[in-house]
Structure 1
Amino acid sequence: MRNAVKWSSLALAVAMGNGLIASQALAQESTPGVGIVEGATATLSSRTMYFNRDFRDADGNSDGIREEAATGMVLDFQSGYSEGLIGLGFDVTAMGGLKLDSGGGRTGTGILPVDPDGTAPNEYAEIRGTVKGRIAEDTVLRYGTHFVENPVVAYEDARLLPNHYFGYSVTNESIDGLFVEAGRMTDRGEMAGSSQTDGAYDVEGEDVSYLGGSYTFNDALAATLYTSKADEMWKRHFLGLAHTAELTDGLSLTSELSHYHTSDDSPGATTYDNDATSLALTLGAGNHGFTVAYQRMNGDSGYSYMDGAVFLANSVQYSDFNAKDERSWQARYDYDFAGLGIPGLTFMTRYITSSDIDTDYEDIERDSRWERDTNISYTVQNGTLEGLNILWRNATVRQAAGGVREWDGDIDENRLIVSYSWDLL
């Protein structure tokens, strides 16, 4: 049935495309286009990552390490559109990973796949494509691979390579300040080395439909509203508000509110009923940023998700603080070293602590956890290596093993990431 849906949708898309092309010949006016080749862009992105996750025992000693290094490459080609009222085009994305370091007992970081014998392959690759159509200048239809990113459906890009969806969508920006989109994603393809890979090269996820968008009222206020349905899992709605108030010269206050309402739509015993809310306040003072955030979970379960769609303030490097009944607070500090004459160098540190976790385990002594993160990033500003970025991410997590997820426990984590992009077209 899944393949039948794919091919029938493709046939419909082709039929519509042929009809639209024919209609162009009869149109009295057409919108000029730059052409499929003339409007094309191509970018080659490279990311080299060293990943170390050290699991700690109850006494703080090392209890096992996941440690690997790899290089990933992503070639993203996007054609322009053919001329006329209806413009047609296509996109191609090729991805590949190369093992630099791995070994028995150290696999499972998520940046490399794991073969049945427990080792990581030396390399892996895949290529994906999309057909697209543009109506006038403000409506785009797509069929094929999607890197969709919104609060209810979002691809992941926190490891070596991004994962992606297969499906169809339409976006519209005909009203100034308003972005609207709708779509149905029928497969979630997870390239090994993507954020939530399970060792396979491709994973079929639940079908999910979505509708929503965002509206920018002015330079200070924006709102986001989405609804979605993941088949036989849940129905989910999202509301987001962002406001920036200019207090004085060089001093501003940004408020960000996010709220998810999830209702159960599964036939089994699993329940997904949840309300997740977060509020973050950021005081910007020149090159400094000070943030406090509060997040809470209500309902019969924690906040469940199957991709990167967790647009909450306390979803951070390792934890999401999304367990049943969990309450969490965050304090964060950012600094841009341009203020000291070092443009391109930035620093961030944050601390999140939580309580009231409903573990459903009578023998769990702790119902709380905390995480401390530190990021240091530098982007080369000029010269031969202009644009090269070096990022170090450190996380320290302390939590009750088995209390939130079956693999949870105390960890120390370090990620070193070097990335660079070339504009080929």
Structure 2
Amino acid sequence: MNQRTTQRIWFSLIGVPLAASAGEGGFIEGSSATLQARNYYFSRDFSDIVGANKQSKAEEWAQGFILTFKSGYTPGPLGFGLDALGTLGLKLDSSPDRVNTGLLPVKDDGRAADDYSRLGLTFKAKLSNTELKVGELQPNLPVLAFSDIRLLPPSYQGLNISSSEISGLTLQAGHLTGTSLRNEAGDEKMVAMLGHVPQRQAESDAFNYVGGDYAFNDKRTSVSVWHGQLKDIYAQDFIGLKHSQPVGDWVLGANLGYYDAREDGSQLLGKIDNRAFFSLLSARRGGHTFYAGYQGMYGDSAFPRVFANITPLGNEVPTYEFAYTDERSWQARYDYDFAALGLPGLTTTVRYISGNNVDTGAGFEGKDRERDLDVGYVVQSGLLGGLGIRVRNVMARSNYRSDIDENRLILSYTWKLL
């Protein structure tokens, strides 16, 4: 009896199918690598400044490069691999009176750095459909969403284990000890945001999470249950439901979620009391997609999250969050994909969100509103085939925080190296 036959019998006895063997693709043979170039112009005018920072404008232009390498796995039922993430940001235009766009680090003298870079490694091991990763991580979870909304993506340091042994069910758990922010090269402790206000007076060196997503009904329906903890600051639970239902020529969708947050451990930010509900309903036909959303904050606190991250809240956008204490907000959105008119690669989004009932703590009701317009195009062929162009224009107004007029222009291109 040869060694391969013996392995097949042993795998069968312990219930691990050989097809799930981590190393079948090979460490080198299963590898992939990409290099993305991202050119980013960001301008944000504060026409009615509220708060201690009186800077009237943030405007910068930068060039970024993101190198991603993912190895395959070594042969055998327990395979090992290595991933790498390299980032480089270069200043193209900035000045001390226009910094803090989130594109570039700000030095002690108030000027943006000329460049910044980082290399992070991730060691991984896989048995069947269960995988352990240790090192540089980019989790994308309801309690810690992946927020790649500036020049370079953020990352975290720690460990994550995920398992998909049961069809449709994915379970994850993790422990993170630090973060590399979107415009920083080094490792830092994590801080919280409450609503739109960073709470830098308290730091944590541990974010723990556990949860799972289950897809069924031919993957048209999924439910999610998650728990997140920013140690000694807050703990948060999440329950979510997504559903997609074809009805004639239409596809109807629903995205519902509920968060419940409270203080944790040493309570470094004091008492935290927030419950958040969101709903985003959609209807798609051809190139048209219509959305309607409602979002409500309940309790004595604004919505908590790890600093510099957006969340899956239905009415949160990268400019305003509509997640301050007691806020209620409504959204209307329309997307169009011009592929329906024979122009593949061209897409548009227009969105309007209005919020009120904000407990400002200053004796008056807070109100805010935002209008977004996004236009994106990916060149389909020719010398510039694959080049992505995105334009974003925002008008945001509030009676308790700074008004914002914002413009972004993003050019991106990705080379497949392996």
Fold shared by both chains (TM-score > 0.5):
yes
Partner residue of 1:419 out of 408, 412, 417: 412
Deviation digits for residues 220-266 of structure 1 (CA, Å, limit 9, x no counterpart): 211111112221011111111011121112x1210110111112214
Corresponding residue to 1:186 among 172, 177, 181: 177
Q: State how far apart, in whole Å, the 2-side matches of 1:155 and 1:313 are.
A: 15
User: Any conservation in 1 of the 2:310–2:317 contact (CA below 8 Å)?
Assistant: no
Aligned partner of 1:384 in structure 2 is 383
Deviations 1:167-192 (A, max 9, x none): 11111111111111111111112242
Aligned AA for 1:288?
A: H
Residues 377 and 389 of structure 1 are in contact (CA less than 8 Å); yes or no, is this contact kept in structure 2? yes
Q: In the TM superposition, what whole-angstrom CA distance separates every residue of 1:185-209 from its partner, at most 9, and x where no partner exists?
A: 11112242xxxx6xx7432112111
Structure 2 partner of 1:259: 258
Change (3 A) 1:388 1:397: same
Q: Is the 8 A contact 2:290 2:335 kept in 1?
A: yes
Say whether residues 1:48 and 2:39 are aligned partners.
Answer: yes
Structure 1 position 277 matched with structure 2 position 277:
yes
Q: Distance in 1 between matches of 2:280 and 2:110?
A: 42
Contact 1:352 1:370 in 2 (8 A): yes
- Looking at structure 2, the residues matched to 230 and 420 of structure 1 have their Cα atoms a distance apart, in angstroms, of 35
Structure 1 residue aligned with 2:160: 169
**Which residue, 409, 415, 422 being the options, matches 2:402?**
409
What's the secondary structure of 2:188's corresponding residue? coil
Q: CA deviation at 1:101?
A: 0.8
Paired amino acid for 1:321: F
Name the CA distance, whole Å, in 1 between partners of 2:157 and 2:118.
14
Deviations 1:86-139 (A, max 9, x none): 001111111110111111211111101111111112211111101100112x01
Picking from 128, 140, 145, the partner of 1:154 is 145
Counterpart position of 1:290? 290
Is contact 1:150-1:309 (8 Å) kept? no
The residue that corresponds to 1:204 in the other structure is 189
Match of 1:97 in 2: 89
What's the secondary structure of 2:281's corresponding residue? strand
| Corresponding residue number in structure 2 for 1:314 | 315
Deviation (angstroms), 1:27: 8.9
Q: What SS is found at the alignment partner of 1:142?
A: strand
Q: CA deviation at 1:213?
A: 1.3
CA distance in 1, matches of 2:146, 2:25: 30
CA separation in 2, counterparts of 1:153 and 1:269?
Answer: 19
In 2: Cα distance, 1:26 partner to 1:330 partner: 56
Return the alpha-carbon distance in structure 1 between the equivalents of residues 255 and 120 of structure 2: 35
CA shift for structure 1 position 57: 2.8
> CA 1:309–1:354 in structure 2 vs 1: closer, same or farther (change >3 Å)?
closer
Unaligned runs of 5+ in 1: 1-23
Residues 250-309 of structure 1: CA distance to partner in whole angstroms, max 9, x if unpaired? x12101101111122142462221100001111112111111100000011010111536
User: Tell me, what secondary structure is at the counterpart of 2:29?
Assistant: coil
- Corresponding residue number in structure 2 for 1:78: 70
Residue-by-residue CA offset, 1:69-89 (whole Å, 9 max, x unaligned) = 001101111111000010011
CA contact (8 A) 2:345 2:380 kept: yes
Match of 2:117 among 101, 112, 125: 125
**Which residue of the partner structure matches residue 356 of structure 1?**
357
| Cα distance in 1 for residues equivalent to 2:75 and 2:142 | 34
How big is the shift at 1:317? 2.7
**For 1:234 and 1:291, how far apart are their aligned partners in 2?**
32
Q: SS of the residue aligned with 2:410?
A: strand
Q: Report the CA distance between 1:311 and its aligned residue.
A: 1.2
- Partners of 2:284 and 2:413 in 1: CA distance: 29
**Letter aligned with residue 210 of structure 1:** Y
Aligned mates of 1:246, 1:36 — CA distance in 2:
41
Equivalent residue, structure 2, for 1:216: 215
Amino acid at match of 1:262: A
Given that 1:113 and 1:201 are in contact with CA atoms closer than 8 Å, whether structure 2 keeps it comes out as: no
Q: State the secondary structure of the residue aligned to 1:119.
A: coil
Secondary structure at the counterpart of residue 105 of structure 1? helix
Sort the Cα spacing of 1:134 and 1:294 in 2 relative to 1 into closer, same or farther, 3 A: same
Larger fraction in strand: 2
Q: Which amino acid aligns with 2:187?
A: D
| Cα distance change, pair 384–243 in 1 and its aligned pair in 2 (3 A) | same
Superposed displacement of residue 156, structure 1 = 2.2
Q: Give the AA of the match of 2:87.
A: M
1:140 and 2:131 aligned: yes
Please tell me the residue identity of whatever aligns with 1:51: F
> Normalising to structure 1: TM-score of the pair?
0.86
Q: Compare relative contact order (CA 8 Å, sep 6+) and give the higher one, 1 or 2.
A: 2
Aligned residues, how many? Answer: 383
Alpha-carbon separation, structure 1, partners of 2:392 and 2:415: 24
For 2:373, the aligned partner's letter is T
Please give the per-residue CA displacement for 1:141-175, whole angstroms capped at 9, x wherever unaligned.
11101011101123321000011111111111111
Distance 2:396 2:104 in 1: 23
- The answer to whether structure 1 residue 64 and structure 2 residue 49 are counterparts is no
